Chain A
């Protein structure tokens, strides 16, 4: 599918449509939608900005490529003056005092924010059911989950309610919902995009990334958001990825993890489809290599150990003191406890408690520190793999999306469903979900900072599969 951004840009410039009409149409679709993808609409702001774009066009001024393009924002990003709830009771009335760097860059480029999108509370979930705004329904089959945690963002893009959306990916939260809703979703190299203004879940793997319907739109939005930011000192400088740079594929060798495909947990159809995709790639003269990797349960356990420890620390600030839905208790400590007990969801509490468990004396050595050591080994394993192959191809999930309601009943099954996404998060590697190959798509991963290679190969797969 070609770039929607470029198509709309052309329509605006040639006055086929007005920006106000475009924005109003999208706002109407979002307002009437029954997929629970919306937490709040930014209608006043969006229409004001659209009128400015129309005025520029009327005056014959040149507009930038992103100017007037409507987009969505996962409800964990600060946008000054808008509600930023993290889909939680605790912050249901919280207004952002400032704007996240990644979002500010899009606003500076003229893109128009339409909506704060539903997601799992604080990013805690793989189905977008852990939310006070109702479970997000899958765009392809509304009886199934929308995926998570950036479920609302993926569904809005899939249904054309937004041209692109900005999600957050800590362990798969962009890639998995992208796969579940048959669109593209990129987790860039860790640090490529500033996280300033993104509510922290697990800081050592949190990434900002775009969801869109074409590789070209992913490229355009990624370029705008990338760059070093003094407000996020893990951010790095990166080079712009050009359209020409990803047009032809330079990939000669592709690897895949044997144990992902031989796992008992993988759905038979996803396995067969994945292997069929591998055969088509081989037929194009590309060498394919089977790689050894850590067992899925080690990956999932390492990820959740570290993510829970980090979220327990990051969320400790949410106690109703300076903001949040404070519930007064008998004394200060009681106020903290009542506020947190009443306002956090069961899943969020489960993760905070798990995190404090592994950080407490007597447990940190045998669980948390060992988890850190395992992460080092996982990363070293990736480094060796990328000496042998250019990219790694994997399914996005072991199975098709579950029915709404099923994941909440079985948290362990939900954690294990992240088996194919969390490893790449631990490695801080660029990984793109493409809507081809299996019913929940394929993931393309490259070595750190090789985001360009990932998009090159996505273009190749688009024509091959």
Chain B
């Protein structure tokens, strides 16, 4: 798949400047090519997971979410056209 499709950006092309950065990585001498992810421990312990509870949105939160919706008609939220077929 091309980057314009992957990125959902029309006519997108790889950038020369960015490619120069990637070339540095390709040519770098890494002592190990596989990340062991053993340096920065940011994962959460299973015993420390947050409680699985439903938190109701406040009235103001719901109101703003509706206000942010891009398209409304006759009180209904209008989604973008679906893909036919």
- Measured in the bound complex, the distance between the Cα atoms of B33 and A375 in whole Å is 11
21 A-B residue contacts at CB 8 Å?
Answer: A95-B67, A96-B64, A97-B62, A204-B42, A301-B28, A304-B18, A316-B8, A321-B79, A331-B82, A338-B10, A354-B18, A354-B21, A357-B14, A357-B18, A370-B25, A372-B35, A373-B30, A373-B33, A375-B39, A412-B21, A415-B21
User: A-side binding surface: helix, strand, loop or mixed?
Assistant: helix
What residue of chain B has the Cβ atom nearest to residue A325's Cβ? B70
Which listed residue (B15, B20, B69) contacts A353, Cβ 8 A?
A: B15
What residue of chain A has the Cβ atom nearest to residue B82's Cβ? A332
Task: State how many angstroms separate the Cβ of A425 from the closest Cβ of chain B.
Answer: 11
Chain B residues in 8 Å Cβ range of A353: 3-4, 7, 9, 12-15, 18
Number of residues from B at the complex interface, CB < 8 A: 55
* Residue A319 interfacial (CB < 8 Å): yes
Quick one: CB contact mask for A377-392 with B, threshold 8 Å, 1 for yes? 1011001000000000
List of 6 A-B pairs having minimum Cβ-Cβ separation, nearest first: A372-B35, A326-B70, A379-B39, A301-B24, A335-B80, A230-B50
Q: Given A80-B60, A349-B7, A373-B33 in contact, is the A94-B68 Cβ separation under 8 Å?
A: yes
* Residue A428 interfacial (CB < 8 Å): yes
- Range for the number of chain A residues in contact with chain B: 35 or more
Which listed residue (B18, B31, B32, B70) contacts A350, Cβ 8 A?
A: B18
What residue of chain B has the Cβ atom nearest to residue A318's Cβ? B8
Task: State how many angstroms separate the Cβ of A410 from the closest Cβ of chain B.
Answer: 8
Q: Given A301-B25, A305-B22, A380-B39 in contact, is the A333-B83 Cβ separation under 8 Å?
A: yes
Residues of B within 8 A of A (CB): 1, 3-4, 6-15, 17-18, 20-22, 24-26, 28, 30-40, 42, 44, 49-51, 57, 60-62, 64-65, 67-71, 79-84
Task: State how many angstroms separate the Cβ of A38 from the closest Cβ of chain B.
Answer: 22
Which listed residue (A320, A329, A357, A375) contacts B3, Cβ 8 A?
A: A357
Task: State how many angstroms separate the Cβ of B62 from the closest Cβ of chain A.
Answer: 8
